[in-house]
Chains A and B, each alone.
Chain A
Amino acid sequence: MNNRIKNIKVNLTSEEFINDQFSNSDDDALFDNIGDYMTGCLDLEDIKNDPALSATKEVVNEMINDYNKKLFGNGDNEKFIKEIFSGNESEDKISDEIRTIKQEIAEKNLDLVTSEWVSEWQAKKQTGNFDPKTQEISNFITGAINSSDAEQAGPGYDGLKKRSERTIFAKYASLSAAALIGVFLLIKTLLPTTDPEKLFHSFYKPFEAISPVTRSMNNSEPDRYSSAITSYKNGNYKGAVAGFESVLENDPLSESARFLLGMSQLALQNYSQTIDLLTGVANGHGEYGKEAEWYLGLSYLKTGNKAKAIDCFEYLVKSNGFYRERAENILYRLK
């Protein structure tokens, strides 16, 4: 814990948090990203709880209709906003490029390598003894910069300066653009679309939050139930199916066993059995009601029943909880 605190420079004389920076700029950037996301989340939550939201949406609806029909439009306003943003954009691009470069420096320990080079160079400079090769390089660089300065003094300096700035920017931009293209190529095969089948694969993850104990179990079932859960966690879904079916024979009202049997059948791609099982759990609105609704929606997507899938996700959107945002996300692609 103390080591972690040492990594952050704290200015206790300041009234603001603003000086709490990491000594590593990579960590600073990561914390900023996390902060951006969390700020966005908190704002969205605040807005959704604003009692004036519905009334505002109605007013705004009309405004947007007018805007789309071009019933109003002040060119000066547009110019005012766009000029500010075009300035922001170039600064943001440069900041992003610098951030990418700093990340690469941190990942490859380039600081260590380059600081050694700098130390060697400084040692040579202090002694004033350059070897012939170093002298030749020094003369070349100095000569090139001096001739560039001479050109800058003449007309066309602005063009040269802008050209060299653009060249530097283009180099940094091409580094990050190339990295981005590489990432796109690598993950392209995993991209989902609005196609229901592909949406299923994009959003489906096996259910993991399993407790080995459930309140609804009677005393005779813990061993069979625990064993079935162990099978499920180990990916032995056939074993899990057999285990949960056995539990249900003796305790047909066990919602958790029914739900997990549904999850096991889903993992085995037995979608019609999954739908039968999860429908019962979802309709019961018990402990696993929302989970059942979510996976039922995904199962309907997989079997091509888009309308029923939409019903499930709409239900989740209306209720609070973990699946609400995911349901909103998936609904926008389905509708």
Chain B
Amino acid sequence: MKEYTDNEIIECLRNRQSYVVHYLSDRYMPMIRLMVYQKGGSNEDARDIFQDGLIIMLEKLDNKEFALTCKFKTFLYCVCENLWKSVLDKRLAAANYISRRSEPETEKDFTDQIDHQMYEDIFREVFETLDPIGKKILTLYWQEISPQEIAEKLGYTYGYVRKKKCEAQSELTEKVKKHPGYMSIRKTDIAAREVLH
């Protein structure tokens, strides 16, 4: 995926180039999704917040005098986090209103959060077991740095970086698949499907 600079992003948004919105969604949705999950939201909440966040930013970016004084992703994160807090405040107020009217409290469905928390714990735990070089290469890979740049940064050959990344990628996936917690979640999924069929 091509990386756009912050200035390119702003210019494309001002010119209503839809491909940059696709790029922003692919690139930054994981971070917003993670933030929303950690603060009690769902995947749908994350999508809504991301959309609304972009709408708000577009209003400001259209002003030619607007100058970005931080990284674009920091700005995006702040807008989305703030938006999510205001959503949570409204939900809390609504929940309090309902409880004051003595209606039965509906249990919030935390399934998404539990599942994601469990997956996150497993991914993090397994990642930490990889050898340091594999970890470094995968970290840079996830930051969308090309293999050539990684090789230059770490002082390895291009071929070594490619090979090492494949090894680390494979080891990470195999270990996650064999993790008892992951196997238990998968078993539950399979059992649920069998019950339904």
Contacts and interface: CB of A to CB of B under 8 A. Distances in A.
A240 to B, nearest CB: 24
B195 A182 contact: yes
A60 B78 contact: yes
B119 A332 contact: no
Contact of B74 (A16, A52, A82, A85): A52
Given A12-B162, A37-B120, A193-B107, A31 B75 contact: no
A170 to B, nearest CB: 16
B28 interface: yes
A134 interface: no
Please classify how large the interface on chain B is, using the bins under 10, 10 to 19, 20 to 34, 35 or more: 35 or more
Contacts, number: 216
Contacts of A110: none
Interface in A16-46: 16-17, 20, 22, 27, 30-31, 33-44, 46
A300 B173 CA distance: 39
Contacts of B120: 37
A39 B30 contact: yes
Interface in B12-60: 16, 18, 21-22, 25, 28, 30-35, 38-40, 47, 51, 54-56, 58-60
A217 B119 CA distance: 37
Interface in A182-201: 182-188, 190-194
Contact of B192 (A44, A179, A328): A179
B108 interface: yes
Interface in B71-109: 71, 73-75, 77-79, 82-83, 86, 88, 107-109
Interface of A: 1, 4-5, 7-8, 10, 12, 15-17, 20, 22, 27, 30-31, 33-44, 46-47, 50, 52-53, 55-57, 59-61, 63-64, 67-68, 72-74, 77-78, 80-82, 84-85, 88-89, 104, 107, 178-179, 181-188, 190-194, 202, 325, 328-329, 332-333
9 contacts: A10-B166, A16-B147, A42-B139, A47-B73, A60-B82, A74-B62, A80-B18, A182-B196, A188-B111
